[in-house]
Amino acid sequence: MNNILGNLNDKQREAVMTTEGPLLILAGAGSGKTRVLTHRIAYLIKEKKVSPSNILAITFTNKAAEEMKTRVEDLLGYIGDLWVSTFHSACVRILRRDIDKIGYDRNFVIFDTTDQKALIQECLKELNLSEKQYPVKTVLNAISSAKDKMVTPEEYIYVFGNEYRSKKISEIYKLYQKKLKKNNALDFDDIIIKTIELFKESPEVLDFYQRKFKYIMVDEYQDTNTPQYHFVNMLAQKYRNLCVVGDDDQSIYGWRGADVKNILNFEKDYPDAKVIKLEQNYRSTKTILEAANYVIDNNIRRKKKTLWTNNEQGEKIILCELDNEREEAEFVIQEIISLKERENRSFRDFAILYRTNAQSRAFEEALMRVRIPYKVVGALRFYDRKEIKDIIAYLRILVNPYDDISFKRIINVPKRGIGAATIEALEATALEKDTSLFFAIDDAKVSQRAKNSLLEFKEFILELIDKKDTMTVSEVINYILEETGYVEELEKEESEQAEGRIENLKEFLNAAYEFEESSEDKSLEAFLAGITLVSDIDLAGEIGESVVLMTLHSAKGLEFPVVFMVGMEEGVFPSFKSFTDEYELEEERRLCYVGITRSKEKLYMTYARRRNLYGKSQYSSYSRFISEIPERFLVRYHELSKPREEYRSVSSYVERKTYEKAQYNLGDKVEHKIWGIGTVVKVEGEEITVAFPNVGIKKLDLKFAPIKAI
């Protein structure tokens, strides 16, 4: 019992022990909300003898669910049939049992984006609408935001207007739902909506779950959307033992349909609700917490909260201005190395937080250069992202038209009406003529339409092959992105995800500009070789010992001893888009509050004077959020009393940490981390060429390649 109720302050204990009736815990960051939920589950089971199967706990991510389960297990030694899951997993479980009651088969499938797109295309065809006017992704986004608000196809025009276009979208929406059903499929949004529908249409099912889940708890309630709200509230109607926790200051998913009113109106929904405020923060130093309090206080639309901590005053927040994003990344990595050594920290103590995923590139490259293990949370590593792989595939074909893998990757990206059958025919021809797919185009036995598309593609590539030596790498990339319509297609989507992809592509262009500035050999071949080098280094294996990179959004609920908030510039954070919209600006500020409060001991804020955006150097000033922190909590990096020499330079670290630069001779065996054992077939200064049985001949740079002599 001690371990369940001990280590809690009075308020927290009160929240844990208030097991009956509606309970709202509205409290600031790091005040132990998640901890209270965990202990409350353990308390219910151990003290109140509630069966684990009568408890439902909802977390925001799967990772948070795993963590909560582990913590409960630590407290109790077992968890039994306890449901700790996200909204989606809970609903899928419920639907698997009973979805037949609303006319679906219980082994329904969940459609991913690719499936959804194919279905929308079918709908467009059937309705005689052109994809040009109704781009697939645009339609999908419209449908998804309707579902976020629980707007049905029939209601669509009443909510989104009854102009011609809206009417058409509602028709597509209707047909799309019909087709989903015919396929016995649900899309991601449907998972929760169909569960609600099931509850409505089948009172006995609702009754079953209302009885089962006598105790319901929801973490991060401030970021629930309308369907999620209905789901928990329907379940809680019978016993009303609903405990929700959250922080209106951390509501950061408004752009995805989350509605902070869900938490702010809890007392209206449950007039008898008990409200507990937790005011002591256990996570951060006084400096960090007070800085966060000052920033968030600039938001007008908020419930005032006071948050204090008994923790030490701690160090000042370190501000550092850098010349550009490359220097920013170098600086951060240098600090990580230096702190690791001086303060005996491990890599997992560090988190680098940024506003948009595209910003990860500079940091990933800097980390890879010095071989520090890192993990990108909530997104793929930069060079693994689809749009980056696509553009690289184009570039590879220019350099090597025999590269069939790259050919297949992009022959129909963007869409050129080239389907699987055409590719198969092309493959047969290539096999017969013993050549690559690219060179088999002329002889391919395919329909005239497909042939024309293929020939057009070939013309385009040949033209570029011809031009590439007189164009810079960035010009080539720009040309491809424009001429193929790749970016245009993304722009039409008008979705958050597509915007992210465009940002990544622009960031890729920045990589090209950097290359053009710094490399002696400015050829496309050299550019690709450099990329292969960085992107092939796989440091992800050493999980648990990695620096963590992620967006501020993904960092919600987490904590780290040392946090770097990077790209703290006007136009980056807060984003340009939010300048003209005070609601959006307040959401950005909440995001800043989330970022600051992730940090336990040390917080850095960095900004670049100049940042490459769209290939142009843009000058910007530091973020207004920095100005909102009183000077007394801040120190400029160059004003630190520690002599600079104490900070080891990155290069000396590299020298010490790189795989021993053994002398290699022809015929030596080496072991590569990913490719396994190979034989050295050529030695040229810092570069060796190795033949690997599975992947063939590879050129390796001794400075970077993860190899060792065996």
How many beta carbons lie within 10 A of that of residue 576, not counting itself?
11
33 binds ligand ATP (CB under 6 A): yes
Alpha helices in 183-241 (DSSP H): 188-201, 203-212, 226-236
Which tokens in the block code for residue 49? 């003898």
Residue nearest to Mg ion (CB): 34
Nearer to Mg ion, 246 or 257 (CB): 246
Counting Cα atoms < 13 Å in the Cβ hemisphere of 16 gives 27
Closest CA to 407 of 397, 392, 420, 419: 397
247 binds ligand ATP (CB under 6 A): yes
Contact 38, 79 (CB under 8 A): no
Give which of ligand ATP, Mg ion, none residue 70 binds (C-beta under 5 to 8 Å, depending on kind): none
Catalytic residue list contains 364 = no
Nearer to ligand ATP, 187 or 249 (CB): 249
3-state secondary structure string, 286-348?
Answer: HHHHHHHHHHHCCCCCCCCCCCEECCCCCCCEEEEEECCHHHHHHHHHHHHHHHHHHCCCCHH
Catalytic residue list contains 219 = yes
Q: Which of 187, 189, 219, 586 is catalytic?
A: 219
Mask: binding to Mg ion, 80-109, rule CB under 5 A, as x and -?
------------------------------
Nearer to Mg ion, 32 or 135 (CB): 32
CA distance to 502, 592, 634, per residue, from 338 (Å): 35, 26, 20
Q: Which residues pair with 326 in a beta bridge?
A: none
32 binds ligand ATP (CB under 6 A): yes
Give which of Mg ion, ligand ATP, none residue 31 binds (C-beta under 5 to 8 Å, depending on kind): ligand ATP
32 binds Mg ion (CB under 5 A): no
Least separation in angstroms between CB 89 and Mg ion: 19
Give which of Mg ion, ligand ATP, none residue 359 binds (C-beta under 5 to 8 Å, depending on kind): none
Span near ligand ATP by CB under 6 A; candidates 24-32, 429-437, 673-681, 691-699: 24-32
Contact 110, 80 (CB under 8 A): no
DSSP symbol at 352: E
Nearer to ligand ATP, 10 or 684 (CB): 10
Contact 12, 35 (CB under 8 A): yes
295 binds ligand ATP (CB under 6 A): no
3-state secondary structure string, 487-499?
Answer: HHHHHHHCCHHHH
Q: Return the residue of 22, 30, 401, 530 that touches ligand ATP, per CB under 6 A.
A: 30
Give which of ligand ATP, Mg ion, none residue 247 binds (C-beta under 5 to 8 Å, depending on kind): ligand ATP
Residues in the interface with Mg ion (CB under 5 A) total 3
- Cα separation, 1 vs 42, in Å, equals 9
Closest CA to 235 of 192, 273, 198, 199: 199
Catalytic residue list contains 598 = yes
Nearer to ligand ATP, 28 or 373 (CB): 28
Nearer to ligand ATP, 247 or 514 (CB): 247
Least separation in angstroms between CB 146 and ligand ATP: 30
Catalytic residue list contains 189 = no
Q: Which of 148, 189, 220, 586 is catalytic?
A: 220
34 binds Mg ion (CB under 5 A): yes
Binding positions for ligand ATP, 542-601, rule CB under 6 A: 557, 559, 597
**Cis status, amide bond into 706, omega within 30 of 0:** no
Give which of ligand ATP, Mg ion, none residue 586 binds (C-beta under 5 to 8 Å, depending on kind): none
244 binds ligand ATP (CB under 6 A): no
Closest CA to 481 of 502, 458, 498: 502
34 binds ligand ATP (CB under 6 A): yes
Catalytic residue list contains 302 = no
Please list, residue by residue across 206-222, b when 16 or more beta carbons sit within 10 angstroms of its beta carbon and e when fewer do.
Answer: beebbeebbbbbbbbbb
8 binds ligand ATP (CB under 6 A): yes
Span near Mg ion by CB under 5 A; candidates 263-271, 404-412, 515-523, 552-560: 552-560
Least separation in angstroms between CB 596 and ligand ATP: 11
Span near ligand ATP by CB under 6 A; candidates 26-34, 50-58, 531-539, 616-624: 26-34
557 binds Mg ion (CB under 5 A): yes
Contact 396, 477 (CB under 8 A): no
DSSP symbol at 621: P
In this structure, the chain runs to a length of 710
Counting Cα atoms < 13 Å in the Cβ hemisphere of 277 gives 9
Which tokens in the block code for residue 226? 């309308």
Q: Which of 116, 138, 250, 422 is catalytic?
A: 250
504 binds ligand ATP (CB under 6 A): no
Phi, psi of 434 (to 5 degrees): 55, 50
User: Got the DSSP string for 36-101?
Assistant: HHHHHHHHHHHTS---GGGEEEE-SSHHHHHHHHHHHHHHHS---S-EEE-HHHHHHHHHHHHGGG
12 binds ligand ATP (CB under 6 A): yes
Give which of Mg ion, ligand ATP, none residue 599 binds (C-beta under 5 to 8 Å, depending on kind): none
Which tokens in the block code for residue 330? 């170098």
Nearer to ligand ATP, 7 or 51 (CB): 7
Closest CA to 411 of 437, 431, 372: 437
How many beta carbons lie within 10 A of that of residue 107, not counting itself?
9
- Cα separation, 177 vs 163, in Å, equals 21
Q: Which of 361, 598, 602, 624 is catalytic?
A: 598
Least separation in angstroms between CB 37 and ligand ATP: 8
- Cα separation, 82 vs 41, in Å, equals 9
Residues in the interface with ligand ATP (CB under 6 A) total 19
Q: Return the residue of 188, 208, 282, 460 that touches ligand ATP, per CB under 6 A.
A: 282
Span near ligand ATP by CB under 6 A; candidates 30-38, 336-344, 664-672, 698-706: 30-38
- Cα separation, 369 vs 385, in Å, equals 20
Span near Mg ion by CB under 5 A; candidates 26-34, 368-376, 463-471, 662-670: 26-34
Nearer to Mg ion, 60 or 374 (CB): 60
Catalytic residue list contains 86 = no
Span near Mg ion by CB under 5 A; candidates 97-105, 269-277, 371-379, 555-563: 555-563
35 binds ligand ATP (CB under 6 A): yes
Chain residues in the site for ligand ATP (CB under 6 A):
7-9, 12, 27, 29-35, 247, 250, 282-283, 557, 559, 597
**Which residues sit at the interface with Mg ion, rule CB under 5 A?**
33-34, 557
Supply the residues annotated as catalytic.
33-34, 219-220, 250, 598
